Amino acid sequence: MKKIGERLKQLRKRERYTQKQLSALLGFQGNSYSSYEYNRIKPSIENFVKLAKTLHTSIQYIVTGKEFSEIFKEEVTPFSQRLRELREQKNMTQQQVADFLEIRKVTYQEYEYGAYEPKLDKLLKLAELFDVTLDELMGRNRK
């Protein structure tokens, strides 16, 4: 199974960018983009959104390799706001979501307050819990 970095490299080459060109286009400093391709670090939520937009793909595809052909609006809902909206739509408490993620309630609250971002494994669990794609979870709005 391909890793995120391999998919990013494939998508970058499809769009005919060098790593340096893509880094400049995205406003990245230093070697942060190449670190993604070499699987040294994972993109932040904001950078996942930027990458998906620029590479004309979905976050879902970048992370899982599963094709997703949805069209998204340009505006993005902040992750913390989107997370709260999804939890409220499911009529769940913060404690219930924290229990599902096997984390402390205060850690989950930091996600909703925008003080901290969940790691990728928790993002995948949240998407599963709320029955949404990673794109929807990370605030991309369908057209």
Domain boundary among 71, 92, 118: 71
Question: 124-140 burial, b if ≥16 CB within 10 A, otherwise e?
Answer: ebbbebbebbbbbbbbb
Query: Do residues 98 and 110 share a domain?
Result: yes
Are the C-beta atoms of 92 and 86 separated by less than 8 Å? no
Q: Report pLDDT digits (tens) over 68-100.
A: 777 777 788 999 999 999 999 999 999 999 999
Range of the domain at 104: 73-142
pLDDT over threshold 90, residue 29: no
- My answer on whether 46 and 95 are in the same domain is no
What pTM was computed for the model?
Answer: 0.87
What's the structural domain count of the chain?
2
Q: Are residues 48 and 88 in the same domain?
A: no
Is the same domain home to 84 and 132?
yes
